Amino acid sequence: MQAPAQLLKSAAKVAVLTGAGVSAESGIPTFRSNGGYWQQHRFEDLATPQAFARDPKFVWTWYEERRRAIAQAKPNAGHLALVELEKQKPDFTLITQNIDGLHDLAGSKNLIKLHGDIWTLRCLKCGKERIDRSRLDDLPPYCECGGMLRPGVVWFGEPLPERALEKANAAVREADVLIVAGTSAQVYPAAGLIPLASAVIEINPEETDFSDEVTFSLRGTSAEILPRLL
Ligand code: OAD
């Protein structure tokens, strides 16, 4: 742990990329590891614009179940360590693929959400967005303009928010070190950020496709390793 901790200590500019694994210890399932969503469901049925067009109630029921589960979850020691790191490093960018809002809840400030936010609802007709954490009883929900609302997340086959991706690219290129925590790094363009970094510390209980290429690959959970790295 000493060498990666030293690398982080000497870095003036730090970027972090997180994935579902960072929220695992808050009780939120991941997508591809044990018990992950995509081991029980086909993503084509739940996380594509085609699935939503086919059966919005079915897709919304799954999102609303996740919203209720996430509403019970609290940030864990990994989320909190990243808040602490941001206080230590004036040039700090946290890039997340997570839509659960736990980084915001923990208190992270300079946060880029690549895949949107499960608490945001967006109108398919007028395009208006609103943040709504309440229980949605009638599914699918509708906007005051009469249009149907969709979850404000990025689905497979959809582009990432352009400005967010540009900012993430710039932050990673400029960083002295990129920490990659809790992601299988299989989904692009997010995973494509990793090779752009000059030095990378990966934190994951399992090996990923990038483990052999990074500067340090640390085996363990983010709630365990991130606080020790600081
Ligand atoms: P995955 O489910 O693909 O990967 C989760 C990773 O976290 C795996 O590599 C696990 O080994 C690791 N992991 C599990 N528990 C951990 C822990 N306690 N601490 C640290 N790591 C742990 O999730 P993502 O990589 O985030 O996209 O998936 C990327 C995208 O695919 C998601 O944003 C979502 C999904 O489909 C969309 O919905 C667009």
Tell me the per-residue pLDDT of 97-110, one tens digit each, with 9 for 90 and over. 999 999 999 999 99
Q: What is the pLDDT of residue 172?
A: 98
Q: What is the pLDDT of residue 1?
A: 81
The pTM assigned to this predicted structure is 0.97
Q: Shortest CA distance to 179 belongs to which of 222, 137, 136, 144?
A: 222
Q: Choose one of 25, 31, 103, 217 to mutate for the ligand 1 pocket test, by most ligand atoms within 8 angstroms of C-beta.
A: 31
Question: Residue 130: how many CB atoms within 10 A of its CB?
Answer: 13
Distance CA 52, CA 59 (A): 6
Collapse the DSSP code of 230 into the 3-class scheme (helix H, G, I; strand E, B; otherwise coil) and give the result: coil
pLDDT 10s digits, 41-58: 888 889 999 999 999 999
Kindly state the tokens that stand for 214.
């990074």
- What pLDDT band is residue 154 in, cutting at 50, 70 and 90? very high
Q: What is the pLDDT of residue 34?
A: 76
71 touches ligand 1 (CB under 6 Å): no
Measuring CA to CA, how many Å separate 4 from each of 1, 104, 111, 212? 6, 26, 23, 15
Residue 147 has pLDDT above 80, yes or no: yes
Question: Residue 15: how many CB atoms within 10 A of its CB?
Answer: 29
Distance CA 101, CA 161 (A): 17
The values of phi and psi at residue 45, to 5°, are -85, -15
CB neighbour burial string for 28-58, b if at least 16 within 10 angstroms, e if fewer: bbbbbbeebbeeeeeeeebbbeebbeeebee
Measuring CA to CA, how many Å separate 113 from each of 8, 117, 162, 194? 23, 7, 11, 16
Q: What is the pLDDT of residue 39?
A: 87
The whole-number average pLDDT for the span 72-94 is 98
187 touches ligand 1 (CB under 6 Å): yes
Place of tokens 């990673």: 172
113 touches ligand 1 (CB under 6 Å): no
What is the end-to-end Cα distance of the chain in Å, rounded?
10
Distance CA 207, CA 209 (A): 7
pLDDT 10s digits, 212-228: 999 999 999 999 999 99
CA of 185 to the centre of ligand 1 (A): 8
